[in-house]
Structures are given as C-alpha cells and as structure tokens.
Structure 1
C-alpha cells in the first residue's frame, strides 16, 4: 500500500509540472517590471526609437533569466519524482511476487482437487456426446445468408444451363449465327408463368426486377433451343426444352390460339361465309363463284352443205345451229333479298359496296347474297364492302396484296362520337338564351 501511495504521488508531481508553466508562475511572483525609459524623470532625453529599443532588450534579458531558473527547478522536481516512482514500482513488484506465489500454490491445489473429482465422476458415469452439439452445421446453400436462397439458387442453375448450352453450340460452330441465318430460323413462341406463379413456386415475393432477370435468361435459352432443334442436336434440344417447360404457363396453347385469326374455308357447294363491319352496321356475306356454261352446242358446218336450198331449210328449222351464242355469266347481288340497285338508291352507296370487286377485276365473277343489320345506308354499304373483300381473299389469296394496299381488308374504325351530358350532341351546345 505504501508503494502504491508513493507511485501515485510521483505521477501527480509529473502531471503537475507538465501542466503548470514555470515561467508564468515565476513572473507572477516578481514585482512588476518598470522599463528603464519610464525611470527617467521629467521625460526621456533619448529619441523614441532608442527608448523602444532599450525596453525590448531589457524584456528579453528578464525572460531569459526567468526561464533558466524555472527550467532548473523543474528538472530537479522531475528527477526526484522519477526516483520515487521507480522505488514504488520496485516495492510493488516485490509485494505482488509474494502474493502471486501464495495464490499460485492455492490455485494449483484447487485444480488438482477438481481433476480428482472429475476423474471420479467419469468413472461413475459415461458421458454420451450429442452430435447436434458438436458445432454449427454449415449452410446447405451458398446463398443461405442472402435471404432469398431459393431464388438465387434457381437463378444460378439457369445461368449455368445457359452457359453450358452456349458453349456446346459454339463447339458445334452454331454460334454466332449470321443475321440471314437467324432470320430464317423458325419461331417458337413462349408464354412464361406470371410473376405471382413463379413467386409461389419458389416461395418468395417475386418483384418485377427479379422476374425480368429470370425471363431474360429463359428467352435466351429459348433461342438456343430453336438453333439446336434446327441443327438436329436432339439431346441438347431435349435438355433445353425440359428446363423451359418448368417455367412455361399451363395455359400456353389457349393463349396462342386466342389471338389467331379464324381460318375461313369454302364449303362443299363452293360458298364462302364472311362477316363485315362498319360503324354500327354488320353484314353477313355469302359468295359463290359464277358457273361458266361448259356445254357445247351442235353447230352446223357450212362447208358440209351442198346447196342453198338445204341451207335455207336448216336455217328455218334449226336457226340456233348456225352460230355459237356468246356465253355471258349471269351474276346477282342480293341484299336482304333485294337487288343492289333497289336497296341502295344512292349511287355513292352502290359504288362503295362494289368497290372491292372493281379493284380485283372480278365484277361478274361471283354471286353475292348478304344480310345487313343496323345503321344507315352508309354504314351498311361499308360493312358489305368489308365482307366482300374478305370473301375475295378466301376464294383468291393472291388478291391479298391489292386489297391490303387499298385498305379494304381493314375495318374502318371511325365511329360516331357519343353524346355528352349537357350537350345537344357529342360537342354541339344548346342555343344560348339571354333571358
């Protein structure tokens, strides 16, 4: 204890001398300094610059003497404090050594007693180790600590499959493909599962970013599948197809056939049935090609007649055998069982209805029967033209280019704008009345 007190006193002395400034303390104990210039009675006879110089020199000498005395005093105190601290350290080490020997012997005896007791317990009881307590089990997935282990594991597997497929195609010199070869490849439409369905399968919330990352890899694998199938790599294509089937939607076939146009066929009588629309009018159109007469009449050869009397007799009895009649096909366009000219009295409506036939050059090639409903004459004639254009395409697919360029196969989307509340019509306002 005495050594500790000496040690504390020595350290305190060192700290006090380190903090306290000896020159300031010595300067405060002395009487105030009076410069020699001020001691001259009745003012100084020296010039101002000489008086200032004398004051500066005296101040420098004073501070130099004061600093030397303070430094000497501080050195003595520091030396004395260091000696006291060294003596205190030596005494403390001696006391700790004696106490440590006693404590060490006691601890050794206690440890020996504990070992003997443990040996006795081991002899009485056999300790069985629990394999679950041997240590922390390693995680089953390298992405265990990511919080989305199932997603990142699946993503890593898909990336690995894409990389292996790419390397296999490159070894077969199928990649990279030139632009013309890529354009000639058949298409394989793919409809993937929705983000919600994929999230349910993986057991995680599937965000839009994760869904885009997955689908981007699947689209790339789908391209490789098309290349492998076209090149005849059946094994590689089968593996890629097996992977893609896991992520394709179960309603793929229904979705693909939903937007596909219905194929219009010609029945056993040669009729085609089409449907046309314009504004609020609809037209159901049946078209039948005109049957050209194929029978040949028995025409009399004039060279076989010997006399004029015989010729006159034949002309009187069988006049139709002397000339070949011109076979003109008979066509008809009936609208609700009414001829075209009677149903559409306005020439513009008639021209609009038969415009597809004139453009295709088949004005007299078909018999047309139509049932129109709704709207007025303008809408009905437009709907009839739309249906006739579709029928011409069914009978003669080569006319598709001409009909598309003239926009006859496209339904006219223009409709009458609906009436608005507070308006007389769609945009017309009521007449303003002042009173």
Structure 2
C-alpha cells in the first residue's frame, strides 16, 4: 500500500532531475559547436516518377510521348499533317518489328503487363507513322532522328522477322529460264518457264553452247533411244507435264483451263514454253500445283502482273490437307452409328 503512494513521487523526481540535469551553455560558447542537423536534407529526385515504384517504365513513356509531340509539331510545321486520306493510303505499308513483351520487360527490370506493353506499342506505332511520312516527303534528317528513338525498342533480328513468309526471289539462268515450285494440298510441281525465242536467236544460242562430246557407247545408246522414241508434236509454245502434253496428261478441260489461266490473265499466252514435273495428290491438286508454279514464273518474268494474279487468288498457295483419322472415330470426324438397345 505504501509502495503505491511512493510510485508517483519517484516519477516526479525523475522528471525533475531529467530537466535539471541539462546544463546551461552560454551563447558565446556555441561558436565552436557544430550546428549541422543530425538528419541530412532530402535530395530532390531526378525523375518526377521516382515514388511511383515503376519509374523506369513511366520515364520511357514520358520520353516517347515527348518524341511523338516533337515529331508531330515538326510535321505540322512542314505542312505534312494532317494528311488527306488518299495521301495516307499512298504511304508505304507499316512494318512493325517491336520487341516481344518478355524482351521488352528486360529493359525495365520488371515484367510488363499487357496494358502497359500495349501503351508502349501504340506510342511506337505513332512514331513509326511519322517516320514513314517524313521519309516519303524527303526529309531524311527528321526520319533519321525518329528512327534512332525507335531502334531501342526494335527486335535484334528485325530483318529476319520481316522476311518471314516472303517468297525468295526467282533466279534465272544465263539463258533466261526460270525455275519455280508450285504446291496445292498434297501435290508439288516443279515448273520451268523458257521464253520463246526467234529462230535466229535460237541458232545463236546453239552456236554459243559448248560441244559436250559423249563416249561412243553412251552416244550409241542415246541415238538408239531417239530412234525408238514415239514422236510427240511439240510446238514452240507448248506445256509439258511429266514429259506428256498438257491435254493428254489432264483430260479434263477444267484442269487444263486452270493451268492456262495465269498466262491468260497476264496476257502472255504463247510467250513461254512450260515444262513441269508434278508428284502427289490427284488430278485437281496437281493441276492447281502446276498453275501455282506457272503464276510464280509469270510474275518472275513480268513483275507488273503480280497484283492482277494476287487479286485473282492464283498467286497464293492452297494449304489444305487431308485431316487425320481420330481414335474412336470412323474417319477424321465421322462417328460410328449408335444404336439404343
């Protein structure tokens, strides 16, 4: 009971001693005392997005927005914006090759969400459109500056990425012959197209060819084969499929018409000799494969007709294949009859 009354007195004495223990220091004695504060002053962050937790991402977004604003202002100063619809349609097509979301995340040291990645690609796409306008209008300085900004966010394998799906250029030999491969479903056709030459030009070509001398036995066998061979009437503008004339290999007029159609659309009927080797599939698939190869060869010889053949849907391959049979089914999709008992 007595201790309960003494406790407040001890607390009061402790407080009194604590305040009285602080010595009095005269002002003149404070001249040699270090008055620097114990806590250092806060340094202002370099970026206004320092406290967001994603300062790297928002800094890049701000820089891209600034680049878009400056490029838009420069194009408006040059009176290149806004563009009318017909002028915008005449621009070269866009070829975006931005980094993937995982690759882009490595730039910011954290994984990007889909919405943030989409925001970056939208700004980059707008910059890319400004770059196309500047390069088409003949302002390489402005276009080069915009390209320097976009190069940071482009893929390392940009050329290979943009080259996917593009057909390789058709090569010609020294006689002007083209070699293409056509496909349809499961059929594949190797097609050679040779321009028809005048008799004088043919004679010159024959004279320029080297003389390949054969051994006596090989020469006799070759002459015997030529003598016993059934003669085939081959005109200067013929189409041979597996060394057989077109109308004999494809009895159906629809198949023959399918092969001749690319030549008709391009207006070069009778201008080329066509030789094809086709394998796999049926007659319809083989005729489509030969037509595909002929279309590619025509475009190689006459590039101006490419858009005509593309609109006619001849230049594109038909990728359909036979669907495989499934376990438990009669065929690919057919089911067995179910009888209720």
Alignment TM-score > 0.5, same fold: yes
**Residue 283 (structure 1) aligned with residue 219 (structure 2):** no
In the TM superposition, 1:218-257 aligns within 5 A as 218-257=124-163
In the TM superposition, 1:117-266 aligns within 5 A as 133-187=39-93, 189-266=95-172
Task: Name the CA shift for 1:191/1:358 in 2 (closer, same or farther; >3 Å).
Answer: closer
CA-CA distance at 1:174 after TM superposition = 3.1
In the TM superposition, 1:329-348 aligns within 5 A as 330-344=236-250
Please give the secondary structure, in 2, of the residue aligned with 1:258: coil
Residue 284 (structure 2) aligned to one of 373, 378, 390: 378
Aligned-residue Cα RMSD (Å) equals 3.8
**Residue 274 (structure 1) aligned with residue 180 (structure 2):** yes
Task: Name the CA shift for 1:171/1:393 in 2 (closer, same or farther; >3 Å).
Answer: closer
Contact 1:334 1:369 in 2 (8 A): yes
**Residue 115 (structure 1) aligned with residue 43 (structure 2):** no
- 1:251-292 Cα offsets, whole Å, 9 max, x none, are 111111123222224322121111111221111010112223
CA-CA distance at 1:333 after TM superposition = 3.1
Ranked by relative contact order (alpha carbons within 8 Å, sequence separation 6 or more), the top structure is: 2
Task: Name the CA shift for 1:131/1:254 in 2 (closer, same or farther; >3 Å).
Answer: farther
Contact 1:291 1:329 in 2 (8 A): no
CA-CA distance at 1:218 after TM superposition = 1.7
Indicate the residue corresponding to 1:317 in structure 2: none
- 1:43-93 Cα offsets, whole Å, 9 max, x none, are xxxxxxxxxxxxxxxxxxxxxxxxxxxxxxxxxxxxxxxxxxxxxxxxxxx
Please give the secondary structure, in 1, of the residue aligned with 2:199: coil
Task: Name the CA shift for 1:176/1:341 in 2 (closer, same or farther; >3 Å).
Answer: closer
Task: Name the CA shift for 1:259/1:384 in 2 (closer, same or farther; >3 Å).
Answer: closer
Indicate the residue corresponding to 1:387 in structure 2: 293
Indicate the residue corresponding to 2:227 in structure 1: none
Higher helix share: 1
Task: Name the CA shift for 1:424/1:363 in 2 (closer, same or farther; >3 Å).
Answer: farther
Indicate the residue corresponding to 2:199 in structure 1: 293
CA-CA distance at 1:399 after TM superposition = 4.4
Unaligned residue ranges in structure 1 (runs of 5+): 1-102, 296-327
Please give the secondary structure, in 2, of the residue aligned with 1:416: coil
CA-CA distance at 1:414 after TM superposition = 4.5
Indicate the residue corresponding to 2:222 in structure 1: none
Larger C-alpha radius of gyration, 1 or 2? 1
Q: CA separation in 1, counterparts of 2:256 and 2:138?
A: 58
Task: Name the CA shift for 1:239/1:276 in 2 (closer, same or farther; >3 Å).
Answer: closer
